[in-house]
Amino acid sequence: MNPLSLSGISKHFGGIVAIERFDLEVEAGEVVALVGDNGAGKSTLVRIISGVHQPTDGEIRLAGERVAFRDASDARANGVEVVYQDLALVDLQPVYMNLFLGRELRRKPFGLLDRAEMARQTQQLVDDLDVRIPTAKAALGDLSGGQRQAIAIARATHWASRLVLMDEPTAALGVAETAKVEELILKLKARGAAVLVVSHNMEQVFRIADRVTVLRRGRQVGTKRVAETSHNELVSMITGLSS
């Protein structure tokens, strides 16, 4: 049973057809890239899988089981983690609070926040993933863009039990920071997670993905093994122009 299987997913916003009959399987330990032009429906698809939007039609199965999430926290509770394009992080809080946002650790018997333990686990996680930050107690807003994205991915890594979705995780990053984030994605894959990553960057798709699926104005144009396609072929699938 694959961690994620989508069949016939459609989404209409009023009269706008954002997604039309989308099918995809993502295996454990596999990275699938989702590519397409601006407005093709990539973010919408991520939001459907993560429970932010409900599909107008179609089926979502996690490990074979049909699911219908009410909201994002419902999806999270079912082991789906998302790294959002507009980082879902809280700048004024420490790094460790961001890692545990909505799932804070508490100490018995009075249920007080266990800040020390959250900071300890965060430090261990960032050390394991080789993410360099001054300290887990630093305010998130004091970190660089790459560090913040790394924290968002570390959070997903920490909590994901089967599936991680990423919406343009390196869109705002420099070369070195992008390399770091790609390394984290490959670590996630090595841990056996299923990863669906939205990307604008063809070189990146060839570096990290096993397969790639193409959306054009809400329609799924095709799905290819990365080893069996080329940059030119993908570009013509995205644009609809033959090369």
Partner 1 sequence: MTIAPTQAPAEKGVQLVVRSWRNYVVYVGFVVVFLYFAATQGASFLNGTTLVNIVTQATPITIMAVGTVFVLSLGEIDLSIGSTVALAALTAAATLQVSGAWWIAALAGLAVGAAVGLVNGLFVTVMRLPSFLVTLATMGLVAGLAQQVTNLQSVPVTDAAFGWLLGGGTLLGIPILIWWSAVAAVIGWHVLRQRRFGAHVLAVGNNASAARVSGIKVTRVRIAVFMLSGTTAALAGLLYAGRLAGATYTLGTTDLMSVLAAVIVGGTALTGGKASMIGAVVGSLFMSMINYGLLLAGLTVAQQEIVRGVIILIAVSLSLRGKKGS
- Cis check for the bond before 3: say yes or no (omega within 30 of 0): no
C-alpha Rg value of the chain to the nearest Å: 18
Nearer to ligand ADP, 32 or 129 (CB): 32
Q: Given the complex with ligand ADP, which of 10 and 121 has the nearer CB atom?
A: 10
Q: What residues are paired with 43 via a beta bridge?
A: none
Express the helix, strand and coil content of the chain in percent, nearest 5 each.
35, 30, 35
Backbone angles phi, psi at 108, to 5 degrees: -75, 155
Q: Is 43 in the site for ligand ADP (CB under 6 A)?
A: yes
Q: What angle do CA 133, 137, 138 make, to 5 degrees?
A: 55
Q: How many residues form the binding site for Mg ion (CB under 5 A)?
A: 1
- In the complex, minimum distance from the CB of residue 103 to partner 1, in angstroms, rounded to a whole number: 7
Q: Which residue has the tokens 């863009």?
A: 145
Q: Does 86 bind ligand ADP (CB under 6 A)?
A: no
Chosen from ligand ADP, Mg ion, partner 1, none, partner binding at 36 (C-beta under 5 to 8 Å by type): ligand ADP
Name the binder of 113 from partner 1, ligand ADP, Mg ion, none, CB < 5-8 A by kind: partner 1
Of partner 1, Mg ion, ligand ADP, none, which one does residue 180 interact with (CB within 5 to 8 Å by kind)? none
Tell me if 165 sits within 8 A of 133, measured CB to CB: no
| Burial annotation 109-125 (CB, 10 A radius, 16+ → b, else e) | eeeeebbeebbebbbeb
By CB under 6 A, residue 36 contacts ligand ADP:
yes
Task: Provide the minimum distance between the beta carbon of 25 and ligand ADP in the complex, in angstroms, as a whole number.
Answer: 21
With H, G, I as helix, E, B as strand and everything else as coil, classify residue 134. Answer: coil
Extract the tokens encoding 195.
């990863």
Least distance from C-beta 219 to ligand ADP, angstroms? Answer: 12
Q: Give the separation between CA 41 and CA 55, rounded to whole angstroms.
A: 13
Nearer to ligand ADP, 37 or 183 (CB): 37
Select from Mg ion, partner 1, ligand ADP, none the partner in contact with residue 142, using the beta carbon and a kind-dependent cut-off of 5 to 8 Å: partner 1
Report the distance separating Cα 70 and Cα 5, nearest Å. 18
Our finding on whether 16 is near ligand ADP (CB under 6 A) is yes
29: alpha, beta or left? (left if phi > 0; alpha if psi -120 to 50): left
**Beta carbon of residue 150, minimum distance to partner 1 (angstroms, whole number):** 12
Between residue 23 and residue 62, which ones bind Mg ion under the rule CB under 5 A? 43
Sites of contact with partner 1 (CB under 8 A): 50, 52, 71-73, 76-77, 82, 84-93, 97, 101-104, 106, 111-113, 141-146, 148-149, 171-172
Instruction: Give the count of residues interacting with ligand ADP (CB under 6 A).
Output: 11
* Chosen residue from 1, 7, 8, 39 binding ligand ADP by CB under 6 A: 39
